[in-house]
Structure 1
Amino acid sequence: MNINVLSLFPAMFEGVFQQSIMKKAQEKNAVSLKVVDFREFASNKRQVDDYPFGGGAGMVLKPEPVFNAVESLTADKKPRVILMCPQGERFTQKKAEELAGEEELIFICGHYEGYDERIREHLVTDEISLGDFVLTGGELAAMTIIDSIVRLLPGVLGNADSSVRDSFSTGLLEHPQYTRPADFRGWKVPEVLTSGNHARVDQWREEQTLKRTLERRPDLLEQIELTTHQKKIIEELKKQ
């Protein structure tokens, strides 16, 4: 996968893209990450913003440098062009899985008061938001989304099942996890996990996944199609 990011502050990405899973993904040639300073594509003394027509507070990103930067990357290709924007679709694990299936992505990170509307109308394919809050710029949001996508690419994680079992990948929250020591300050690991009985372990994990989701995010249970067995477990949990 090729991921290009348009930003006025490319240095913000240096640490994130050169550490942990992001670095390993590049070393494995699973992804190519490039950050472009779209100020370089402005024709008027590197000016990327201007006052809004009609007046108002703040500055608006001009269309010219953003269009020029994207077009320099696309040539005859038609990749997904993603605008980081608090007005966009709220990002989810499902969206991460969808984007992980693309060969090329371009992220546009804005600043100031907003974007010239023609960028939305004629350039981007997706508008994405992390949630109902506003950041200073799109860089931090883009880093978060790119990380969630890259870890899903084939061969990036050491264990292929790791991303499959993550919270939200199945539509439910992940079950509790434990490691050594089995007894820490008197707090013991559930006996079933040290029993060696894999069938019992799988059953326990399924029950705990449903229990945790019911307790913390019951809304998720309404968004997926539960099996008859899962519905029975939930009914038993509600009685407890």
Structure 2
Amino acid sequence: ILYRAMEAGYLHLFTYQIRNYSADKKHHSVDDYTYGGGAGMLMQAQPIYDCFLEVRRQVEEGKGQGKPRVIYVTPQGQLFTQQAARELAKEDNLIFLCGHYEGVDERVIEEIGAEPYSIGDYVLTGGELASMVMIDAIARLVPGVLHNEDSAVDESFTDGLLEYPQYSRPEVWRKRRVPEILLSGDHGRVDAWRLSESVQRTKERRPELYAQWMQAHPDYGKPKKKRKSRRREGGEDATD
């Protein structure tokens, strides 16, 4: 999908080798020991900053709208969510800085204004895989990338809930039937069933999301108040 989107010009992806910007012209090293001691190596500020300047220059020469937003991919970052993907999809230019080793010199993160993001509470060998996950989630929200843009609207996390169960043909498979309500043709009942299933699935699998959703929808599941009718003088009905 992303390949077709790039071919059609909906988005462009470029990669940059930070080693090419190293001041060490012999070994092209980009890491060194940390001040204060500790295990592992740290990515240095200089090659990252020089690479950033080159990327920013190319963006400006390409007449990109506004400054590129810089995302630092790190397990220390705020959690990358569908809401974050929607927000970042509105940007014209994004730069992803992929951490390695023990991370990146804090000074360059501050200098370039990088925003730390994480895809989960675990550690990878580098930020490349995490950045690819984020790019995929963001790119599919760019208008034109998906042929059916409703696919990006009617799915898990879009409204704060996990997606409802879905079924395709045949109606019966290994004695398991498609729920009758989905065959009814009653769109109102189908929508109500899907919402109910989404809420229940979220409650079972992601209780923290369920709690957030219920807080935003306190009236969900409560019986609707019946309207009271009273008789006015003159025989007219009034509804409260």
Q: Same fold (TM over 0.5)?
A: yes
- Residues 1:231 and 2:226 aligned together: no
The aligned length equals: 212
Q: How does 1:153-232 map to 2 (within 5 A)?
A: 153-224=142-213, 225-226=216-217, 228=219, 230-232=220-222
For 1:59, the equivalent position in structure 2 comes to 41
Find the partner of 1:78 among 67, 73, 89: 67
For 1:47, the equivalent position in structure 2 comes to 29
For 1:16, the equivalent position in structure 2 comes to none
Please state whether the residue corresponding to 1:86 is helix, strand or coil. strand
Instruction: State the shift of 1:112 in Å.
Output: 1.2
For 1:33, the equivalent position in structure 2 comes to 13
Q: Take 1:153 and 1:50, find their aligned partners in 2: how far apart are those partners? A: 39
Unaligned runs of 5+ in 1: 1-20, 234-240
Q: How does 1:88-103 map to 2 (within 5 A)?
A: 88-103=77-92
Q: Which range moves more in the overlay, 206-215 or 133-142? A: 206-215
| Mapped contact 1:83–1:124 kept (Cα < 8 A) | no
Please state whether the residue corresponding to 2:121 is helix, strand or coil. coil
Greater relative contact order, per chain length (Cα 8 Å cut-off, separation 6+): 1
* Alpha-carbon displacement from aligned partner over 1:30-70 (angstroms, at most 9, x marks no partner): 11011111111112121111112233221111111110111
Instruction: State the shift of 1:227 in Å.
Output: 6.1
Please state whether the residue corresponding to 1:177 is helix, strand or coil. coil
User: Given residue 133 of structure 2, which amino acid in structure 1 is its aligned partner?
Assistant: T
Q: Which range moves more in the overlay, 167-176 or 71-80? A: 71-80
Please state whether the residue corresponding to 1:146 is helix, strand or coil. helix
For 2:232, the equivalent position in structure 1 comes to none
Q: Which range moves more in the overlay, 27-36 or 97-106? A: 27-36
* Alpha-carbon displacement from aligned partner over 1:171-203 (angstroms, at most 9, x marks no partner): 011100100111111101011112222222112
Identity across aligned pairs (percent)? Answer: 49
* Alpha-carbon displacement from aligned partner over 1:105-129 (angstroms, at most 9, x marks no partner): 0001121122111122111331011
Q: Take 2:222 and 2:199, find their aligned partners in 1: how far apart are those partners? A: 11
For 2:63, the equivalent position in structure 1 comes to none
Q: Take 2:115 and 2:221, find their aligned partners in 1: how far apart are those partners? A: 36
Q: Take 1:227 and 1:155, find their aligned partners in 2: how far apart are those partners? A: 36
Please state whether the residue corresponding to 1:132 is helix, strand or coil. coil
Q: Which range moves more in the overlay, 65-74 or 22-31? A: 22-31
Please state whether the residue corresponding to 1:231 is helix, strand or coil. coil
Q: Take 1:117 and 1:206, find their aligned partners in 2: how far apart are those partners? A: 45
Q: Give me the TM-score of the superposition, normalised by structure 2.
A: 0.84
